[in-house]
Structure 1
Amino acid sequence: MPEATPFPAEYTAVLTGAGSKRGIGRATADRLAREGWAVAVMDINGENAKAVAQEIAEAYGVKTIGVGADVSDQSAVNAAVDEVEAGMPPVVGLVNLAGISSPTTFMDETAEGWDRVFAINMRGTFLVTQRVLRGMIDRQLGRIVSISSISAERGGGTYSKVAYSASKAAIIGFTRALAREMGVHNISVNAVAPGPIDTDIMGGTLTGERKAEMSAGTMLGRVGQPEEVAALIAFLLSPDAGYITAATYDINGGLQVS
């Protein structure tokens, strides 16, 4: 019977789209660093990625690196991961956070707009995951978490419309199918589907009025905080979560009951 591969003495998590000051990615980077992970911040804005990495290193005393890459560009992704692997401990964790929203209604959506959403949200997840998996398969150890959305499960009904919902639904199918292929390599693959979270992805910083509107249908009567999503992601990356795979975890305050 296969045995679970233990974590090495030092290990790295790669986080895409984690260069924003007010996002789930930044909160996750802080949480993982606090728990002893080395952290690689990948963002389309390389300067932001480097700044976040430096701040985390100074705050938590862990190894960090910031790299710039458009996740929809295969050459850029390969170069960024090459840099991470050359200078950091083994990559054990990957969090696919890079994503864009789209408030455009279906009949106003263009092919170019549709392709842009899928290029970042789904193609980017595919490219980064495939590249990072090379080392994970070699080591027979890995944890992958990709960010879906309540919008995928409800069929929209949020700030973003059909293109976004479809791309985030694709993440769930991707997660389940990839988990089936990667289980033999001791690599878990899971998704997290947040509901309304207090970040800037939905058209900018949320006002009090927008928070009240977005939290109206939740059982807890509030929007979530990035740190709450980060805590769930950190658990799914941890050694304790080694027997969890192909799952989609809702974190939405009870707005959607699956």
Structure 2
Amino acid sequence: MSLPLSGKVAIVTGSSRSIGAAIATKLASQGANVVINYRSGSSAAQGVADAINTEGAGKAIIVQADVSTVVDNQRLVQETVRQLGRLDIVVLNAGIMDMKSPADVTEADFDRHYNTNVKGPLFLAQAAAPHLPAGGRVIFFSTSLSSASSVAPNYLLYVSTKGAIEQISRTLAKEFGPRNITVNTVAPGPIDTDMFRNDKTEQQINFISALHPQKRLGKPEEIANVVAFLTSPEASWVNGQTLRVNGGFVV
């Protein structure tokens, strides 16, 4: 029996570790050939690709690209099509999150966050669009904090970029819809990754875990499962949506 993504090609940005690596691994297990994208540190990206290639379902290649830049996004798409022959799925996972109070935010901080979290995903979607066939999928990433009733001030830059992403996703769903390409956004709650744990004490992590009904953080694989669903034929009528994958996390 063929796998649901057999013959498909997927780019997963920021996929050398954490959620991105889990997504790439999951899509490959469903038969997709995947591009492991990384900005620096090729050994981690190669490790993810080697693990995927050992499994024998979809295959993986690695492509270095700084996805905060337009030129590298264009090259990432070109290399994908050159090496794998097509492009069906784009998962815009790469992002940064620096914790600074509004008073300490600099212009450089602003530019770095908006280049990585907003400009990069938008222009990668633009570069990918001419190559995506009917049935193609574009998946952006936001955060459940974008709908929270209260947000700590030090999340200012991060949450504002994700609010922009949700609006971009809804708009592109209308732009790409006539070509039978869906555009959705996955908005995780707290996930147990290095980026989440950075600059947090164990006490803070335990407090956040306790806000969930299951009293734990999410796992990267639990986000990957939702992304896999959105890329599948079963998700053909899910379009222009923001899926909050957070285990009932409420703040």
> TM above 0.5, one fold?
yes
The 1-side partners of 2:250 and 2:41 are apart by 36
The 2-side partners of 1:235 and 1:93 are apart by 12
Q: 1:71 to 1:212 in 2, by over 3 A?
A: same
Residue 191 (structure 1) shift: 0.4
1:162 partnered with 2:156: yes
Aligned to 1:4: none
Amino acid across the alignment from 1:172:
E
Residue 215 (structure 1) shift: 1.4
The 2-side partners of 1:177 and 1:158 are apart by 28
Amino acid across the alignment from 2:40:
N
The 2-side partners of 1:37 and 1:151 are apart by 31
The 2-side partners of 1:187 and 1:110 are apart by 38
Conserved? CA contact 1:151–1:158, under 8 Å: no
Q: 1:156 to 1:103 in 2, by over 3 A?
A: farther
Residue 90 (structure 1) shift: 2.4
The 2-side partners of 1:124 and 1:225 are apart by 25
The 2-side partners of 1:159 and 1:230 are apart by 29
Conserved? CA contact 1:192–1:249, under 8 Å: yes
Structure 1 unaligned residues grouped into runs of 5+: 1-6
1:190 partnered with 2:184: yes
Aligned to 1:12: 9
Q: 1:31 to 1:147 in 2, by over 3 A?
A: same
Aligned to 1:217: 211
Amino acid across the alignment from 2:16:
G
Q: TM-score scaled by structure 2? A: 0.91
Task: State which of 65, 77, 84 in structure 2 corresponds to 1:88.
Answer: 84
Residue 30 (structure 1) shift: 1.1
The 2-side partners of 1:31 and 1:207 are apart by 31
Conserved? CA contact 1:43–1:70, under 8 Å: yes
Amino acid across the alignment from 1:186:
N
Residue 204 (structure 1) shift: 3.1
Q: Percent identity?
A: 33
Residue 72 (structure 1) shift: 1.6
Task: State which of 95, 110, 114 in structure 2 corresponds to 1:118.
Answer: 114
Aligned to 1:180: 174
Aligned to 2:143: 149
The 2-side partners of 1:242 and 1:45 are apart by 35
Aligned to 1:79: 75
Q: 1:18 to 1:156 in 2, by over 3 A?
A: farther
Residue 65 (structure 1) shift: 1.1
Q: 1:211 to 1:120 in 2, by over 3 A?
A: same
Aligned to 1:45: 40
Q: Over residues 163-191 of structure 1, what are the superposed CA-to-partner deviations in whole Å (9 max), with x where a residue is unaligned?
A: 00000111110110000111001000000
Q: TM-score scaled by structure 1? A: 0.89
The 1-side partners of 2:153 and 2:207 are apart by 11
Q: 1:110 to 1:203 in 2, by over 3 A?
A: farther
Amino acid across the alignment from 2:47:
A
Amino acid across the alignment from 1:221:
K
In terms of mean alpha carbon deviation, does 178-187 or 40-49 score higher?
Answer: 40-49
Q: How many residues align?
A: 247
Conserved? CA contact 2:218–2:246, under 8 Å: yes
In terms of mean alpha carbon deviation, does 115-124 or 72-81 score higher?
Answer: 72-81
Q: 1:160 to 1:62 in 2, by over 3 A?
A: farther
The 2-side partners of 1:174 and 1:156 are apart by 23
Please give the root-mean-square deviation of Cα atoms over the aligned residues, in Å: 2.1
